């Protein structure tokens, strides 16, 4: 039986599986391990969220399939969050869809926008799905530095100059997993300017929008007015991990 599958063969090692195996081996050998591996929340989910989940699951009307775009109330809530948190107005009908987590959103988005050999620019190191989804979709990945500074912008320019055909999309993730680096609006504005001129889609994963220090909330790239970008967002601090919830918000230039 063929066990060498084309798409699986192209994937780099999955860092979480590798770390888990090393951890298990070290524990089995008696080592005392402090786990800095996969970022599971170490605080309980706020009680009002758990109560609402329990209440909701007891209603048989919720035991059915949902709308594929997400129920209107949830899309409106997403738009409300963007308005309140970032001052960004989104049309819940055309600029927001609900996904089963950021991973599902990014993986399906990768399938939608990537053709065989299409190039995607991804900072290194990155959260694995930022490259895996595109590799599975038969794309190729070119790495950029992860620090949001002039060197990043130079590398971005070089990557576009030296790629034929031009990259289709750029993945950003600030606050960054695994580096915790953050980006400001000035950086986002420069990236948007460049990608707009080059017709490159920006995918900005804002999974950690609500985890920040020194009272400075991270901005959203959607605060920069531009027609062609996507944002995937599912504030990790606001939900229990086993409950998949995510959202994609976009400007209308790309249909949701």
Positions in the binding site for ligand PLP (CB under 6 A): 39, 101-103, 127, 173, 177, 205, 207, 234, 246
Nearer residue to ligand PLP within complex by CB, 207 or 222: 207
Please give the Cα distance from 106 to 204 (Å, whole number).
10
Nearer residue to ligand PLP within complex by CB, 125 or 145: 125
Using alpha carbons only, give the angle 105, 110, 112 rounded to the nearest 5 degrees. 95
Nearer residue to ligand PLP within complex by CB, 102 or 114: 102
Nearer residue to ligand PLP within complex by CB, 100 or 196: 100
Closest residue to ligand PLP, judged by C-beta, is: 101
Sheet of 140-144, strands arranged across: 96-99, 246-250, 229-233, 201-205, 169-172, 119-123, 140-144
Least distance from ligand PLP to the Cβ atom of residue 246, Å? 5
Comparing CA positions, the residue from 212, 180, 187 lying closest to residue 202 is 187
Least distance from ligand PLP to the Cβ atom of residue 127, Å? 4
| DSSP label of 227 | S
Least distance from ligand PLP to the Cβ atom of residue 119, Å? 21
Nearer residue to ligand PLP within complex by CB, 119 or 146: 146
Least distance from ligand PLP to the Cβ atom of residue 61, Å? 25
Report how far apart, in Å, the C-alpha atoms of 203 and of each of 122, 129, 163, 219, 243 are: 10, 12, 19, 15, 23
Least distance from ligand PLP to the Cβ atom of residue 146, Å? 12
Comparing CA positions, the residue from 91, 125, 114, 94 lying closest to residue 13 is 125
Nearer residue to ligand PLP within complex by CB, 168 or 207: 207
Least distance from ligand PLP to the Cβ atom of residue 40, Å? 8
**Which three-class secondary structure state does DSSP give residue 218?**
coil
């Amino acid at each position: 039986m063929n066990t060498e599958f084309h798409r699986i063969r192209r994937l780099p090692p999955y860092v979480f599986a590798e770390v888990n195996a090393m951890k298990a081996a070290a524990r089995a050998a008696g080592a005392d391990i402090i786990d800095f591996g996969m970022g599971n929340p170490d605080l309980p989910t706020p009680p009002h969220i758990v109560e609402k989940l329990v209440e909701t699951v007891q209603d048989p009307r919720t035991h059915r399939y949902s709308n594929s775009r997400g129920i209107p109330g949830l899309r409106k809530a997403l738009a409300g969050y963007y308005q309140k948190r970032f001052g960004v107005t989104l049309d819940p009908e055309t600029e927001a869809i609900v996904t089963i987590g950021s991973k599902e959103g990014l993986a399906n988005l990768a399938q939608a926008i990537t053709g065989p050999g299409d190039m995607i620019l991804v900072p290194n190191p990155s959260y694995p799905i930022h490259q895996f989804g595109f590799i599975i979709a038969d794309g190729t990945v070119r790495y950029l530095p992860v620090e949001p500074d002039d060197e990043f912008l130079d590398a971005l320019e070089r990557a576009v100059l030296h790629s034929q055909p031009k990259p289709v999309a750029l993945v950003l993730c600030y606050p960054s997993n695994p580096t915790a680096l953050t980006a400001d609006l000035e950086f986002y504005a420069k990236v948007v300017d460049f990608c707009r001129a080059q017709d490159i889609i920006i995918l900005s994963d804002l999974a950690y929008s609500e985890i920040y220090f020194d009272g400075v909330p991270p901005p959203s790239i959607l605060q920069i007015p531009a027609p062609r970008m996507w944002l995937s967002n599912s504030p990790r601090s606001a939900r229990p991990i086993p409950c998949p919830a995510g959202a994609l918000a976009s400007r209308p230039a790309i249909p949701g």
